[in-house]
């Protein structure tokens, strides 16, 4: 298994977007749309896990757009592992790779937002607050200090 750090200049950019469009989680299609609409810039990256030519999952490290706010940067988003590849610690590998990249860039921490409770703590994230997304619906804001 290999995890590729890709940006819009990568040959894998379109294949990963196409894979994301086929995933079972609706947020994956939003990530694919962001990729096609060229909404990634600068240091932002997609981390795609691949084995024998098959994509297994991905995540992104991005600047926050509107939610949760610029102070929560960099933001880990769109962490997804394909159903056939779950139970292989792939989420951990993706998070570790994105974390190492953030550290190379000089960041001391990364953030994520989620409504899941008890999922990301096992990867070193700690909840710091809840923040309203829209219409009274809120998500937890989590931080992981990079060591």
Length of the chain: 147
* CA torsion, ordered 81, 88, 112, 99, to nearest 10 deg: -120
CATH code at 123? 3.40.630.30
Report whether 144 contacts 110 (CB < 8 A): yes
Going through the chain in order, the beta strands assigned E by DSSP cover 2-6, 45-51, 54-62, 75-81, 109-114, 126-134, 137-145
* Model pLDDT, residue 133: 82
Q: What is the pTM of this model?
A: 0.94
Span 35-72, pLDDT tens digits: 999 999 999 999 999 999 999 999 999 999 888 889 99
- Overall domain count for the chain: 1
**HSE of 3 in the Cβ direction (CA atoms, 13 Å)?**
22
Domain, as residue range, for 136: 2-145
pLDDT tens digits, 92-108: 999 999 999 999 999 99
Burial 71-82 (b: 16+ CB within 10 A, else e): ebbbbbbbbbbb
C-alpha span between 122 and 133 (Å, rounded): 24
């Amino acid at each position: 298994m290999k995890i590729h750090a890709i940006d819009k200049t990568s040959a894998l950019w379109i294949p990963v977007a196409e894979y994301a469009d086929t995933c079972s989680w609706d947020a994956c299609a939003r990530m694919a749309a962001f990729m096609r609409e060229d909404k990634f810039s600068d240091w932002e990256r997609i981390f795609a896990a691949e084995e024998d030519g098959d994509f297994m999952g991905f995540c992104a490290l991005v600047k926050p757009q509107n939610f949760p706010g610029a102070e929560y940067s960099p933001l880990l988003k769109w962490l997804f592992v394909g159903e056939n590849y779950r139970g292989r610690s792939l989420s951990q590998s993706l998070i570790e790779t994105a974390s190492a990249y953030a550290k190379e860039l000089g960041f001391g921490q990364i953030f994520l937002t989620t409504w899941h409770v008890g999922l990301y703590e096992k990867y070193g994230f700690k909840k710091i607050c809840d923040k309203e997304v829209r219409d009274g619906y809120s998500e937890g804001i989590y931080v992981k200090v990079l060591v």
